Structure formats: structure tokens, C-alpha cells
């Protein structure tokens, strides 16, 4: 079984389109095979992951050659780039920018070249590492997550079944090409399944409206901006599926998408270490504030602080654990993948807190470290409070955290982007809709919330 099963072939139609070029499958394969020849003998290769066809070619070349690829964000600062290149042990950088490996001694191998090759290397073993993706570094220095070819293939096949994703689709997105969402799902998914890929460079409402796709990927920030451009949003009515991930989709944005596009978005859940494990289905129900059911081959459960299983009753909040073929090989340590301690029987602790309903539907509360607030003996999920705040017509964005309190241990504290509304009014608004212990005791009005490249709010930067 080839990881890029649908890539080899004689299809001369455009397979990949981006602002910097259009390639047929034949052209992509020939170009990538030529680059792959330059990777022979390399232990691991970095890729300067700009948003365009050159990155797609470079990553494909690594997969053809059986050489693990480390995508490096093009806007990485000097310290971040030095950490990724040094920690990964990359022996070269694939890039058309000679300064891409600045601050290191790595040779820079150009991606663009005249030559093409018809010699496709034999398929590497399924258990070989395919990618090393670095985490966002919110709990320390970014860690290199080693993903095998088998794990990626298993995840993409499960998603294809859940989303009824076929070669007849045209996938559109403008996400970065150095994370699971934009690279694994948004590029390797299209190449494995055989669907056409249109990368818009940037995920603007206008670019999405003009692309004419059947399947769209976006993070909540993208979908919020799409809804703020109603004319563009209505152009997506002809799409088959709108998929949201990488962060919780606020319920008001979910509702706006339904009103403007005529369809409810599909939400899904995953992380770099597990790939995508839970999703709504293309032919099934979509519930605002929920991420769906485990994919084929994935098992999940919630446990209490001592590791004991909690009931799937839709109200018990616990730490989410998963099992399945999509799990990573481990974190990169001295050139090898080192798997962190697992729970009993191979369950992986995601670090997220969730509830699972009697029907198996999952609702992600958030990160255990930032989104589970223990206040006065109660356990409060930050996401539920955020959703309530977002129902207020003046509120555009909200982030809720637990902050130290001398009596309660932690208090519910909200940071809100809103139009001219007194904080006490927002506290009262939530108190009318949720239990008293869930209302924010303090509301800070801010101009904006700090976010990373994928649109996730960086709550660690909000705490006093």
C-alpha cells in the first residue's frame, strides 16, 4: 500500500493549484522524483514550508525517498528555527531561498529545477517515519512529533470514509503547510485520495468564494471571517462539505454558517500526536459545540484524575484518552522516537478534557491545563462559559481561564472583545444562562485575544 496511493498515474488535469503554480499529477510526480534523488542517503530533511507548490513538491519528494520531513514555518523566528533544525538533526534544508537555513550550517538544496525524473523509488516500509511535526511549544520548547507512514495512511482513510471524500472532490484551503490540518489533511489527504487541491495562499473569504470547491477546510478564525463577508459566504452554498478544526468552533459561528451557506459545518478533533480521532460524519448529524464520534479504528474514553473510567453520560467531565492506529511513534530524542508513558492497555492521554454522551458524541471542554477550572469544589469547562458569552450581541470573542482566588482556589475569569458593554452586564448575562458557579467573577475587556498561526487562543498569555 502506497502512502500516496493516488499520486502515480497519467492524469494530466490540474491536481494541485496554488498562487505560485499549477501542476498535473504527472508533473508533480516527475518534479518530486527529481528532488527525491537528491535526498538519497539523508537521515532527515527540513523543508522551508512556504504556502505554495514548492512545499508540496518538497514534502512529496521526502515521502517518495523514504526520508522523514521536518516542515519549518517560513515566519519562524531565529530561536525557533534554530531549535527545530538542531533538535531534529536535519542534515539539509529544501528551499528556493538560500537564506532559509540562516543561523545553521545546513546546506540548502533548491526545490525548483529544470530536470524531471521518471524513476519513482520503491515504496518504503509502512512503519517508516514520514513527518516530524513540531508542537506549538505552549508547555515548553516545541517537541518533534514523529508520525509514521502507516499512521498517516490510516487516518486519511478513516477521514475519507467519514467525510465521503473521493477523487471527485475539489479540496480548497489556505492553511499553513507545517501543521496536521494544512499539510497532512490538506495536502497528503488530497494526494492519497486523488482529489484536486486548490491552495488559496491565504484563507480569505474572497479566495474561498472564488475557488469553486466541493470540500473546504478552515479553522474557526477563517469561518468567522467568512461569516463576516456574507456575499462570499453565500458563494459556498454549492460546496458539499465545510470542515472546521484546530480549535473549538464557537456556536454563533456555527449558526451563522448554517444561515449563510445552507449547511452545518463538520467539526472534528485531533492533535499532532494522535492525528484526527473524532469527527462528525458527512451523512450524519452535526451538533454545534460537539466534535462527533470516534473514527473507524479509534477508541476513546474519559477518566477521572486517578485514571478511573467515567460514565458516558454527557455530563461527566474527564480527561480524554484515545487508542488506535493513528497514534504517533513518539517524540524525537537523539534521532529516535521515544514514546511518552501511556495509560494502561496503551491508552494515550491527550491532555484535553471532554464529555462523551450516551450516544458516543464528544464535546471537548479544552486543555486540562488551561480549560478545566476547579472553583469552590466545582469543575467548570471554560468552553461552556465562552459559548455563553458569545451569545451576547456585543461580544465578538471570548476566552475564559481560571485565576487564583483565596477562597475558591480558582475563579472563572473572562477576557472579552466586545462593543461598549459593561463587564457587570456580561457577568449577569452568563449568570442568567448557566449555573451560578460558572459565571465569570471578573471580566476584562481587551482589544484582541492573542492567537497562534492556527488561530488558537494562547491562554497562557492572558493570565496575570
Query: Could you report how far apart the first and last alpha carbons of the chain are, in Å?
Result: 52
Which value, to the nearest 10 degrees, does the dihedral of the CA atoms of residues 360, 224, 210, 7 take?
Answer: -40
Angle between helices 251-261 and 220-227 (to 10 degrees): 50
Q: What is the pLDDT of residue 376?
A: 75
Residue tagged 469547562 (cell numbers): 381
Contact 263, 282 (CB under 8 A): no
What distance in Å separates the CA atoms of residue 360 and residue 369, rounded to the nearest whole number?
24
Beta bridge partners of 113: none
CA-CA distance, 72 to 319, in Å (whole number)? 31
- pLDDT (tens digit per residue) in 263-287: 999 999 999 999 999 999 999 999 9
Q: Give me the pLDDT at residue 81, please.
A: 86
pTM of the complete model beyond 0.75 = yes
What kind and span of H or E run contains 25? helix 25-38
Q: If pLDDT is split at 50, 70 and 90, which confidence band does 338 have?
A: confident
Closest CA to 238 of 260, 259, 261: 261
CA–CA dist 217, 422 (Å, integer): 36
pLDDT at 249 over 60: yes
Q: Could you report the per-residue pLDDT of 8-26, keeping only the tens digit for each? A: 444 556 799 999 999 999 9
Instruction: Report yes or no: 48 and 94 within 8 Å, Cβ to Cβ.
Output: yes
Name the residue among 92, 68, 138 with its Cα closest to residue 337: 68
Q: How far apart are CA 61 and CA 64, in angstroms?
A: 5
Q: Chain-wide mean pLDDT for the chain?
A: 90
Burial call 272-283: b when 16+ CB within 10 Å, e when fewer: bbbbbbbbbebe
Query: Which distant-in-sequence residues (6+ apart) come within 8 Å of 19 by Cβ?
Result: 52, 199, 200, 201
pLDDT band at 1 (very low <50, low <70, confident <90, very high): very low
Q: Is 389 helix (H, G, I), strand (E, B) or coil?
A: helix
CA distances to 157, 159, 275, 287, 406 from 323, in Å: 17, 16, 11, 24, 39
pLDDT digits (tens, 9 = 90+) for 123-135: 889 999 999 999 8
3-class SS at 398?
A: strand
* pLDDT at 232 (0 to 100): 96
The structural domains of the chain, ordered by start, are 1-366 (3.40.50.12780), 372-461 (3.30.300.30)
Separate counts of helices (H) and strands (E) for the chain: 11, 26
- Model confidence at 455: pLDDT above 80: no
Q: How much of the chain, in percent, has pLDDT values that exceed 90?
A: 65
Positive or negative, the Cα torsion across 113, 118, 123, 124?
A: negative
Q: Is the pLDDT of residue 138 over 70?
A: no
Among candidates 269, 278, 364, 386, which has minimal Cα distance to 318?
A: 364
Amino acid at each position: 500500500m502506497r502512502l500516496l496511493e493516488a499520486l502515480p498515474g497519467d492524469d494530466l488535469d490540474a491536481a494541485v493549484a496554488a498562487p505560485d503554480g499549477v501542476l498535473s499529477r504527472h508533473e508533480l510526480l516527475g518534479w518530486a522524483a527529481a528532488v527525491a534523488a537528491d535526498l538519497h542517503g539523508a537521515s532527515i530533511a527540513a523543508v522551508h514550508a512556504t504556502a505554495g507548490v514548492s512545499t508540496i513538491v518538497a514534502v512529496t519528494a521526502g515521502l517518495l525517498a523514504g526520508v522523514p520531513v521536518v516542515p519549518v514555518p517560513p515566519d519562524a523566528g531565529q530561536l525557533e528555527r534554530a531549535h527545530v533544525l538542531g533538535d531534529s538533526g536535519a542534515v539539509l534544508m529544501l528551499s528556493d531561498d538560500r537564506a532559509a537555513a540562516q543561523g545553521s550550517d545546513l546546506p540548502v538544496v533548491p526545490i525548483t529545477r529544470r530536470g524531471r525524473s521518471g524513476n519513482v523509488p520503491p515504496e518504503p516500509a509502512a512503519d517508516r517515519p514520514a513527518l516530524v511535526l513540531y508542537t506549538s511549544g505552549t508547555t515548553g520548547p516545541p517537541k518533534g512529533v514523529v508520525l509514521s507512514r502507516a499512521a498517516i495512511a490510516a487516518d486519511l482513510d478513516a477521514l475519507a470514509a467519514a467525510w465521503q471524500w473521493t477523487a471527485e472532490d475539489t479540496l480548497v484551503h489556505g492553511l499553513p503547510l507545517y501543521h496536521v490540518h494544512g499539510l497532512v489533511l490538506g495536502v497528503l489527504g488530497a494526494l492519497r485520495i486523488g482529489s484536486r487541491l486548490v491552495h488559496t495562499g491565504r484563507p480569505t473569504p474572497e479566495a474561498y468564494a472564488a475557488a469553486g470547491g466541493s470540500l473546504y477546510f478552515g479553522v474557526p478564525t477563517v469561518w468567522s471571517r467568512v461569516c463576516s463577508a456574507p456575499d462570499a459566504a453565500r458563494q459556498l452554498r454549492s460546496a458539499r462539505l465545510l470542515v472546521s478544526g484546530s480549535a473549538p468552533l464557537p456556536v454563533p459561528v456555527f449558526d451563522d454558517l448554517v444561515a449563510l451557506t445552507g449547511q452545518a459545518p463538520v467539526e472534528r478533533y485531533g492533535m499532532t500526536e494522535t492525528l484526527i480521532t473524532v469527527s462528525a460524519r458527512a451523512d450524519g448529524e452535526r451538533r454545534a459545540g460537539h466534535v462527533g464520534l470516534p473514527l473507524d479504528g479509534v477508541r476513546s474514553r474519559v477518566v477521572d484524575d486517578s485514571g478511573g473510567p467515567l460514565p458516558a453520560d454527557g455530563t461527566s467531565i474527564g480527561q480524554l484518552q484515545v487508542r488506535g492506529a493513528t497514534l504517533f511513534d513518539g517524540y524525537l530524542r537523539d534521532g529516535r522516537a521515544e514514546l511518552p508513558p501511556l495509560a494502561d492497555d496503551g491508552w494515550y492521554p491527550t491532555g484535553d478534557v471532554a464529555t462523551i454522551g450516551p450516544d458516543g458524541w464528544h464535546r471537548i471542554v479544552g486543555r486540562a491545563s488551561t480549560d478545566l477550572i476547579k472553583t469552590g469544589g466545582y469543575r467548570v469547562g471554560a468552553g461552556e462559559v465562552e459559548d455563553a458569552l458569545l451569545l451576547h450581541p456585543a461580544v465578538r470573542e471570548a476566552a475564559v481561564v481560571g485565576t487564583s482566588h483565596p477562597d475558591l482556589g480558582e475563579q472563572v475569569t473572562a477576557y472579552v472583545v466586545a462593543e461598549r458593554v459593561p463587564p457587570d452586564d456580561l457577568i449577569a448575562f452568563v449568570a442568567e444562562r448557566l449555573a451560578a458557579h460558572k459565571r465569570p467573577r471578573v471580566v476584562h475587556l481587551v482589544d484582541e485575544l492573542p492567537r497562534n498561526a492556527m488561530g488558537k487562543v494562547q491562554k497562557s498569555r492572558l493570565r496575570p
